[in-house]
Structure 1
Amino acid sequence: MIIPGVEKINSNVELLNPQTHKHMTIVPLKTEHSYKLDILTLKKGFELGLVEVKECKHSTVNTLIVKNKSIDPLLLVDGEEVVGGDQNRIVNSTILIAPQSLSKISVSCTEHGRWKYKSEFRSSAHIANYKTRRAKLRAKRSNMPVQQEVWSSIDDLEESIDFSSDTSAMSESYESQKINHAEFLKAFEIVDGQNGALIILNGEIKGFELFLNPEIYSQFHEKIIKSYLIDSKIENTTYAINIDEARLVIEQAKDSTFEDKPSNGLEKVFEFENSIGFGNLYIYEQEILHWSYFKKSSDDQKKEDVIEDIELGERI
C-alpha cells in the first residue's frame, strides 16, 4: 500500500466470520493493531457539551462552523448528519478538528424543503445512505454540483421506499424505516477487535468502512448498517458468500493509486480508484483514521460516459 507522503501504515486487514440476516451480510474487519489515540467523536462531543455546531453569521447552505472545546481532536465522518439549525446537513468529507479550535466545514443539505431556524444543532442517529455518499463523492471528483446530486439522491431514496417528507428530510426517511431496520441491528453484533465492516447485499459487495480503532467504529456500527440497508429491498432470501472475493476487493483497494488532496484539518486526505471501486482514505499520525470504499455500479459507468462526452465536446 503506497501512500504519497506516508512512510508506513498498518494496512493488514483481517476478515472475520461473516454474519448474515436475510439478504444482508456483514463481514467484520479487524486491523493488525488497535490504536487508542485520544479522539473525540461528534456524538460524544455533543453529549459532553464539548462541541458546538452553528450556522455562519450569514447563513449559507454548504458551510457550518464547528467549535471543538475539548483538549482532544474532534472527528467528523464523511456523511455524518447534524439535525437542526436552518436545515439538516451532512459532512462532506471526514475531518479531524484540532483541540480547542474553531473550523468552517463543508457540508451538504439533507432537508431541501426547509430554510428556517428549528433548533440548536444536535447529532443525528444517521449518516447519509450509501448511494448518496457515493453520488456525492463521484460528483466532487468529476467537478459536478455536489449539492444537487445529494438532493437528487434523497429524492430517489424517498421514491424507492414510497415515503414523502414534508421537507424532503433524509432523517425522516430513516425514521419511516425504523421498525424494518430493528431486526437487522439486533442480528449484526460487534465482535471483539472489530474496527470495520464490509457490506454485502443480495450476494453483491457494496463497500466497506474501516476506522482507527474499535472504540470509534462502535459509534458508527449501526449507522453504517442502516445506511446500506435503506437502499435495498428487504428479502428473506440468503445468498452464498464468497469470502475470497471480499478479500480481493480489499487487496485491490490497497493496490490502487492514491492521490493526495487538500486537508481541512489534522488529517491527510487521499482519493483512490481502481477498475471496480473508488473511495477516500484519511490518515492521522501515520495510521488509518478512516477508509471508505464504494463498489462501482452500472450507474457510475453511465455517469462516467456522460462526463467523458461533455469533456470531449468542450475540447472540440
Structure 2
Amino acid sequence: MIASMDDFELLDAQVHKNVAIVPIKTPVNHKIDLLTLKKGFELGLVAVEECEHSTVNTIIVANKSVVPLLLVDGEEIVGGDQNRIIDATILIAPQSEMKVPVNCTEHGRWGFKHNFKQSSNIANIRTRVAKIHAHRNHGSAQQAVWDSINELEMSRDFSSPTQAMSESYENAKADLDEFLDAFEVAEGQSGVAVLIDGEMKGFEIFLNSEIYREYHEKILKSYLINAEINENVFTINTDTIESVIENALNSDFEEFKNEGEEKRFEFSDEDGLGSLYTFKDRLIHMSYFTGSADLDSQSPKIHQNDVRI
C-alpha cells in the first residue's frame, strides 16, 4: 500500500450533462522542480528530433534545462516524419538527451512535415488502455495504438487523410470545448476522477497542482472523446470513488524497467489497471482506468511506505 485516502481530499464535484469530474487534492503541494514538455518547448529548452535513421517507435529528446524533463505517458508531439505519443512517463536528466520510446499516431504518413512541436492532446483513454494491455501481454503496442485510433475514427463517423489521432480531436473540438468551459481547475487540485453516467471511468494524479494544471484539459478530452454524451441525471457517490481509489492504492505495484530518472510501476485490481511513476520516492504521476485488468506479471513489488505522497 503506497498511501490511503487519508492522503487525498476529494473536492466538490463539477457536472455538465452526463459527465462529472471530482477534483483530487493532496495535502502537500510538493515543489520538486520539474520541467514539463509544454514549458520546455515554450522556453526553447527542449529539442525533439527523429533518429539519424528514422524509426517509428523511437525519437531523440534533448533536455537543455538544469532540471529533469517530465514526459507524460500518452502525451502527443506532432510533426517529424509522423505524429507520436510518449510510450510511458519518463524523466530525462538535466543537460542530457536520450532515445525515447514512442508510438505513432498517424498511420498514413511517413515523411517530414515540420519540426516536432507540442500537441494539445494526450492519447484517448481507450488507446492508453490498449497500449498497456499490449505491453503486459507481450503484444504489439504500436498495432494496438493504430487499431484504437481507427476505432476512434469509426466511432465518430470521421476519417482523416492520414489516420491521425490529432485530426479526430480537431474534428471533435466544438463538442470538447463545451465541457472544457464547464470544468474548471479547482484551487490546489493535483488530480481528477472522471465519471460518465455516474460510473467512474478512472483517475489521474500528478506531483503537484502546477503540473496538473498543464494537463487538465488534455486529460478531460482523453475521456470525453470516447464518451456518449446525453442529458442523463445521475447521483455522484463519493464513497464509491473513494473505494475505487483506495483499492487501487492497496494493489501490489510491480516494478518495470525504467527509461530515465523515474521509477516505473504497474498494477491491477478487480476494478481496473494503472501505472505509477516516482522520483526521489515521491509520486510524480499515477493513472488508473476502470475495466478489465486480466494481466499477469512476475516483476518485483513495492510495499507499504516505499513511496511518499
- Whole-Å Cα distance in 2 between the matches of residues 138 and 242 of structure 1? 29
Instruction: Choose which of 80, 86, 90 in structure 2 pairs with 1:91.
Output: 86
Decide whether the 8 Å contact of 2:4 with 2:246 is kept in 1.
no
Given the alignment of the two structures, is residue 262 of structure 1 paired with residue 257 of structure 2, yes or no? yes
Q: Where do 1:52-201 residues align within 5 Å?
A: 52-201=47-196
Q: CA deviation at 1:157?
A: 0.2
Q: Secondary structure at the match of 2:222?
A: helix
Q: Which residue among 212, 215, 226 is the counterpart of 1:220?
A: 215
After superposition, what is the alpha-carbon deviation per residue over 1:217-267, rounded to whole angstroms, capped at 9, x for unaligned? 000000001000000122122321111100001000010011111111111
Measure how far apart 1:11 and its partner are.
7.4
Quick one: structure 1 residues 296 and 192, their matched pair in 2 at CA, closer, same or farther if it must change by over 3 Å? same
RMSD: 1.6
Runs of 4+ in 1 over 4 A off after TM superposition: 8-11
Aligned-partner SS, 1:56: strand
Residue of structure 1 in register with 2:27 after alignment:
32
Q: Partners of 1:113 and 1:202 in 2: how far apart?
A: 35
- Percent identical across equivalent pairs? 56
TM-score normalised to structure 1 length: 0.91
| Per-residue deviation, residues 260-282 of structure 1 (Å, max 9, x unmatched) | 11111111111111111111100
Task: Select 1:247's aligned residue among 225, 242, 262.
Answer: 242
What amino acid does structure 2 have at the position aligned with 1:269? R
Q: CA distance change for structure 1 residues 226 and 36 in 2, over 3 Å: closer, same or farther? A: same
- Partner of 2:133, secondary structure, is helix
Deviations 1:138-183 (A, max 9, x none): 1101111100000000000000111100000000000001111111
User: 5+ unaligned residues in a row in structure 1: which ranges?
Assistant: 3-7, 305-316
Aligned residue-pair number: 296
Residues 204-229 of structure 1, C-alpha deviations (whole Å, 9 max, x = no match)? 11110000000000000000010000
Q: In the alignment, what sits opposite 1:292?
A: 287
Instruction: Provide the secondary structure at the position in 1 that maps to 2:53.
Output: coil
User: Are 1:48 and 2:43 counterparts?
Assistant: yes
2:240 counterpart letter in structure 1: E
Letter aligned with residue 99 of structure 2 = K
Map of 1:271 onto structure 2 = 266
Distance in structure 2 (CA, Å) of the matches to 1:75 and 1:243 = 31
Q: Indicate if the aligned counterparts of 1:11 and 1:31 stay in contact, CA closer than 8 A.
A: no
- Deviation string, structure 1 residues 267-310 (Cα, Å, up to 9, x no partner): 1111111111111100111111000001014xx66xx7xxxxxx
* Contact kept? 1:10, 1:31, Cα under 8 Å: no
> Does the 8 Å CA contact 1:20/1:238 hold for their aligned counterparts?
no
Work out whether residues 9 and 287 of structure 1, in 8 Å CA contact, stay in contact via their aligned partners in 2.
Answer: no
Any conservation in 2 of the 1:10–1:32 contact (CA below 8 Å)?
Answer: no
Contact kept, 8 Å, 1:53 with 1:121, in 2: the verdict is: yes
CA distance in 1, matches of 2:118, 2:63: 14
